[in-house]
A and B are shown apart, each in its own frame.
Chain A
Amino acid sequence: MARMTESNSSDEQPPSMELDAETEVPTEAAVAANGAQLALAEEQIVDIGETVGNVRCEDPYVVAENVNVFYGDNHAIKDVTLEISKKEVIALIGPSGCGKSTFLRCLNRMNDSIETARVSGDISLGGQDIYSKEFDPVALRARVGMVFQKPNPFPKSIYDNVAYGPRIHGLANDRAELDEIVHNSLERAGLLKEVKDRMDEPGTGLSGGQQQRLCIARTIAVNPEVILMDEPCSALDPIATARIEDLMDELSEDYAIVIVTHSMQQAARVSGRVAYFHLGLLVEVDETDKIFTNPQHKLTEDYITGRIG
């Protein structure tokens, strides 16, 4: 940690805009001068420095301040600060193992179930500290829904899959209300037309893309405020992916969406802002256009130009 603070202090000056390899990286780390090769990762971590771009946003709803995550001795997330507003789509990108999924899982405390995981720092939702003792993760997850990498419908009927959330949270008073919720959720997930006549069939019998939309319908049936998506299209074919992306576009009118993705094209298509993670550090956050056309940080540039990743 001592080295970290040291380098932090040296990074006070705004990063150089020149693309000259010699000067671009802060001076102390001359070793890293040869560019951001991952082979030199150890030294690189130290020299990434503070997040560049703009971690703040207007009307923030989800606020993460100085978040650190440890898995046992492994420091998976290092001092990440990020604000997310109520109605935006923000994409978290970065190479494998950079901590973007870990950070996502912090936002609805899914890391709680991992015995060795430890989270420090503050994350608040609408001004409430979600890691405080009084905050029930169950209530949190009703407000911050999650869609997973692999479609994971329950081995139940399509109807029961969508009705599961409302049922456990007691959102519907009678069958008619529940029917309505299920109906609306499927409708909004763009799945209703396809499954209308087979609501009693198992959800696992649908195609991959349909399954993932079913999972989205299941999530929005609880009427959350934020939807977290962990590489929701990585297991899908391009056509199914396109449908999910359209869906995200529609949903972004009502929900804040945080999406982790491996695909820069996808991030460019769906998100308003992009956050780039590297080895547990948040390197750069900015408007999507800005990140892809004019990245501030050398690492970001390397990543989006395909030199890392």
Chain B
Amino acid sequence: MNESRNTLQKVEAGLPGRRRRETMFKLAGLLATTVGIVFLGVFFADLIAKGSSAFVQTQVRLDVEFDAQVIAPGGEMDIAYADFDGLVRASLRGVFPDVSGRNERRELYRLVSVGAGYQLRDMIVADPNLLGTTQAIWVPAASTVDMYVKGNIDASLDESLRPLSDAQIAWVDALRAAGNLQTQFNSALFSNGDSRDPELAGIRGALMGSFYMLIVTVMLAFPIGVAAAIYLEEFAPRNRWSDLIEVNINNLAAVPSIVFGLLGLAVFINWVALPRSAPLVGGLVLSLLTLPVIIIASRAAIKAVPPSIREAALGLGASQMQVVFHHVLPLALPGMLTGTIIGMSRALGESAPLLMIGMVAFIVDVPGGFSDPATALPVQIYLWADSPERAFAERTSAAIIVLLGFLLVMNLAAVIIRKRMERKW
């Protein structure tokens, strides 16, 4: 018994130190868990702080005269060669009549986006009756003005350190005082393709590119992935070939995505001679990339169908194929769909392989088909992130918010499908 008491004393002597170590360990764990979550918080806060202002755009109201002399010099409208920029400039001069001198006027003209001229052209094409009238219209301000209005340019800095001159700031302030300057929802962001001018740049082209790519991807990867999963789970004999396929699929899931880009470049573009920068090629590469994800998820879904159902159907004299297509597949479908959506969301966020196959070009037009040159939303983010203008940084964040929004919707859809179709066996 003495010995036992002795033991007890030793144990108790060590306890305070051990409790301290326990607490430290627990705190370390808590700290580690917090790191990831705090990062997530900082990341989203930073993103929203940077990007939310890109959803509005500063507009300037101008009284523009659709001068028949300029637009239709010979009586006929000459849209292609008419000087619409001149009309914008004339109305700017009208607002500030006392600005004279070449340089000052040029500075004045820079307040308004080059897109203003195109806007006038589109208006007159849509409604020829405007010819000769004077209209009060809102045109987009230049990105520097936009930045100043959003408070991203410090007027107290020395003139040489900021993109707006003192005179320009004075004009902007005057426009604002007169109520001729306001911020509106930035519809250009969603209706335009890419542009060198931040105030005209939009993500529509990239969105359509991503859309076409995902169509190709889902059309290829879903049926092939499901078919491969069915074969491997239900029909494949357990031999070396199916082992090889199995190992191979697991490895493919972990191969760096850029390697798939190299494959696409060498095979689809160089060898099959498909067009560069096309959503078709992008979709092909992304389907190879997402195939392992879909196969693995589909196999798990098939595995989850209890063998009793198979046995019941086989017992009724159904063929193996009928069992699979009539019983197993419908039951496994929700799981397969979930896996496919997860795979698609991965494909939507993927950019590295797309750089390899030329989807990184500067493309203004919104793509209209599978073989038109296009870019994708993440690649657009990459391109804009490289642009030095402050206004592009803002738009990059906005594009990221849109991208994350899509991913969120896709993942929520996956969760909902899983929750609603979940069966308990």
Binding-face segment, B7-15, B288-296, B386-394, B403-411 = B7-15
- A223 contacts B3, C-beta separation under 8 Å: yes
- Whether A169 contacts B4 by the Cβ 8 Å rule is no
> Does A29 make an interface contact (CB < 8 A)?
no
B20 contacts the other chain (CB 8 A): no
**B10 adjacent to A171 (CB under 8 Å):** yes
CB contact list, A149-207 vs B, under 8 A: 168-171
Query: Are B15 and A222 in contact, with the CB atoms below 8 A?
Result: no
Q: Tell me, yes or no, whether B419 is within 8 Å of chain A by CB.
A: no
The verdict on B420 contacting chain A, using a C-beta distance below 8 Å, is no
Cross-chain contact A170 with B4 (CB below 8 angstroms):
no
Is B326 an interface position by the 8 A CB rule?
no
A172: nearest chain-B partner, CB-CB: B10
Q: How far is the CB of B48 from chain A (nearest CB, A)?
A: 36
- Interface-centre pick from A171, A223, A225 (highest chain B CB count, 10 A): A223
B14: A residues at CB distance < 8 A: 169-170
Also in contact, A170 and B13, with CB within 8 A (given A136-B19, A138-B18): yes
The docked-state distance in angstroms from the alpha carbon of A165 to that of B14 is 13
Could you tell me the distance between the alpha carbons of A219 and B281 in the complex, rounded to whole angstroms?
65
* Interface presence of A30 (CB below 8 A): no
Whether, in the assembled complex, A243 has its beta carbon less than 8 Å from a beta carbon of chain B, the answer is no
Interface of B is mostly: helix
Cα A142 to Cα B8 with chains together (Å)? 8
- CB of A139 within 8 A of CB of B11, answer yes
Determine the chain B residues whose CB is within 8 A of the CB of A223 once the complex forms: 3-4, 7
Establish whether residues A138 and B8, one from each chain, have CB atoms under 8 Å apart when the complex forms.
no
Residues of B within 8 A of A262 (CB): none
| Assembly CA distance A130 to B14 (angstroms) | 19
Contact B15 A138 (CB under 8 A): yes
CA distance A171 to B7 in the complex (A): 7
Kindly provide the distance from the CB of B306 to the nearest chain A CB, expressed in whole angstroms. Answer: 26
Chain B contacts for A222, CB-based, 8 A:
7
- A106–B12 CA distance with the chains assembled, in angstroms: 21
By the criterion CB–CB under 8 Å, are B19 and A169 in contact?
no
- Among B3, B7, B15, the one with the most A-chain Cβ atoms within 10 Å of its Cβ is B7
Chain A 107-158 residues near chain B, CB threshold 8 A: 136, 138-139, 142-143
Please tell me the number of chain B residues within 8 Å of chain A, measured between CB atoms.
12
A103 to B13, CA, bound (A): 29
Alpha-carbon distance A142/B13, docked complex (angstroms): 13
In the complex, chain B residues whose CB is within 8 Å of the CB of A138: 15, 18-19
Query: Is A136 a contact of B15 with CB atoms below 8 Å?
Result: yes
Instruction: List, in ascending order, chain B residues with CB within 8 A of A142's CB.
Output: 7-8, 11
Segment 1-58 of B: residues with Cβ below 8 Å from A: 3-4, 7-8, 10-15, 18-19
Within the complex, the shortest CB–CB distance from B166 to chain A, in Å, comes to: 67
What is the number of residues of chain A that contact chain B, defined by CB distance less than 8 Å? 12
Complex Cα distance, B22 from A139, in Å, reads 14
State the Cβ distance, A107 to closest chain B Cβ, in Å. Answer: 17
Distance in angstroms from A288 CB to nearest chain B CB is 25
Closest partner residue, chain B, to A171 (CB atom): B10
In angstroms, Cα B18 to Cα A171, docked, is 14
Which residue of A is nearest B18, CB measured?
A138
Cα of A143 to Cα of B1 in the assembled complex, Å: 12
In the bound complex, how far is the Cα of B13 from the Cα of A222, in angstroms?
Answer: 15
Cβ contact within 8 Å between A171 and B4: no
Q: Of all chain A residues, which has the CB nearest B6?
A: A223
Residues from chain A with a CB closer than 8 A to the CB of B15 are 136, 138-139
Nearest residue in B to A168 (C-beta to C-beta)? B18
Question: Which residue of the partner chain B has the closest CB to A225?
Answer: B4
A170→B10 contact, CB < 8 A:
yes
Question: Does B8 contact A143, Cβ atoms closer than 8 Å?
Answer: yes
Q: Tell me, rounded to whole Å, the shortest Cβ–Cβ distance linking A244 to chain B.
A: 23
Measured CB to CB, the closest approach of chain B to A30, in angstroms, equals 40
Q: For residue B17, which residue of chain A has the nearest CB?
A: A170
Q: How far is the CB of A28 from chain B (nearest CB, A)?
A: 40
In the bound complex, CA of A241 to CA of B320 (Å): 48
Give the contacts of A220-273 with B (CB-CB under 8 A).
222-223, 225
Q: Which residues of the other chain, B, contact A136 by a CB distance below 8 angstroms?
A: 15, 19
Closest chain-A Cβ to B241's Cβ sits at a distance in Å of 35
| CB-defined contacts of B11 to chain A, threshold 8 Å | 139, 142-143, 169-171
Q: How far is the CB of A256 from chain B (nearest CB, A)?
A: 11
CA–CA, A168 and B14, complex, Å: 9
- Smallest CB separation, B404 vs chain A (Å): 34
A171 shortest CB reach to chain B, Å: 5
- State the CA gap A188–B13 with chains docked (Å): 26
Q: How far is the CB of A163 from the nearest CB of chain B, in Å?
A: 15
Which residues in window 275-305 of B have CB below 8 A to A? none
CA distance A170 to B13 in the complex (A): 9
Binary contact readout B328-368 vs A (1 if CB under 8 angstroms, 0 otherwise): 00000000000000000000000000000000000000000
Bound-complex Cα distance A171 to B19 (A): 17
Closest to B14 in A: A170
> Taking A223-B3, A223-B4, A225-B4 as contacts, is the C-beta distance between A139 and B10 under 8 angstroms?
no
Chain A residues near B7 (CB-CB < 8 A): 142, 169, 171, 222-223
Smallest CB separation, B267 vs chain A (Å) = 47
Question: Nearest Cβ distance between residue B6 and chain A, in whole angstroms?
Answer: 8
A168 to B22, alpha carbons, bound, how many Å? Answer: 12
- Bound-state Cα–Cα, A225 to B11, Å: 13
In the complex, which residue of chain A has the Cβ closest to the Cβ of B7?
A223
Q: Which residues of B contact A170 (CB under 8 A)?
A: 10-11, 13-14
Residues of A within 8 A of B (CB): 136, 138-139, 142-143, 168-171, 222-223, 225
Supplied contacts A139-B11, A223-B3, A223-B7, 7 more A-B pairs, CB within 8 Å: A139-B15, A142-B7, A142-B8, A143-B8, A169-B10, A170-B14, A222-B7
Shortest beta-carbon contacts, A-B, top 10? A170-B14, A223-B7, A142-B11, A169-B11, A171-B10, A139-B11, A225-B4, A223-B4, A170-B10, A136-B15
Task: Please name 19 pairs of A and B residues whose Cβ atoms are closer than 8 Å in the assembled complex, sorted by A.
Answer: A136-B19, A138-B15, A138-B18, A139-B8, A139-B15, A142-B7, A143-B11, A168-B18, A169-B7, A169-B10, A169-B11, A169-B14, A170-B10, A170-B13, A171-B7, A222-B7, A223-B4, A223-B7, A225-B4
